[in-house]
C-alpha cells in the first residue's frame, strides 16, 4: 500500500464526511443568522431563543437529507469494500 493510495483514501473519507455534515451545518448557520437578526431588530436578548429554532431546523434538514446521506455513505462503503483486494496487493 503506497502513500499516494493512503492519502487518496483519507481525502475521499474527509470529502464524504464534509458532504454528510454539510446540510445540517448550513441549516444551523442560516437559522442562527435569521434568529440573530431577529434578536437585533427586536432587541430581545434571550440566550435560549437560538437553541430551539436551530434544533428544529437541523432535525428537519436531517430528515430531508437522510435518503441522500444514506445513499452517499452506502456508495462510499461499497466502493471501499470492492477495492480491498487492490489495497492488499
Mean pLDDT, residues 58-75: 96
Instruction: Give the pLDDT confidence of 1-57 residue by residue, as tens digits.
Output: 788 888 989 999 999 999 999 999 999 999 999 999 998 898 888 878 888 999 999
* Helix axes of 51-82 and 3-42: crossing angle, nearest 10 degrees: 170
Q: Is it the case that residue 89 has pLDDT exceeding 80?
A: no
Grid cell locating 4: 499516494
| Residue 29: Cβ within 10 Å count | 12
Q: Measure the CA–CA gap between 70 and 74, rounded to whole angstroms.
A: 6
Amino acid at each position: 500500500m503506497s502513500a499516494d493510495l493512503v492519502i487518496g483514501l483519507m481525502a475521499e473519507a474527509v470529502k464524504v464526511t464534509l458532504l454528510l455534515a454539510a446540510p445540517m451545518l448550513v441549516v444551523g448557520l442560516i437559522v442562527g443568522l435569521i434568529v440573530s437578526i431577529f434578536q437585533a431588530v427586536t432587541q430581545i436578548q434571550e440566550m435560549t431563543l437560538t437553541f430551539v429554532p436551530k434544533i428544529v431546523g437541523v432535525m428537519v434538514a436531517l430528515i430531508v437529507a437522510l435518503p441522500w446521506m444514506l445513499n452517499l455513505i452506502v456508495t462510499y462503503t461499497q466502493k471501499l469494500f470492492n477495492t480491498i483486494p487492490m489495497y492488499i496487493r
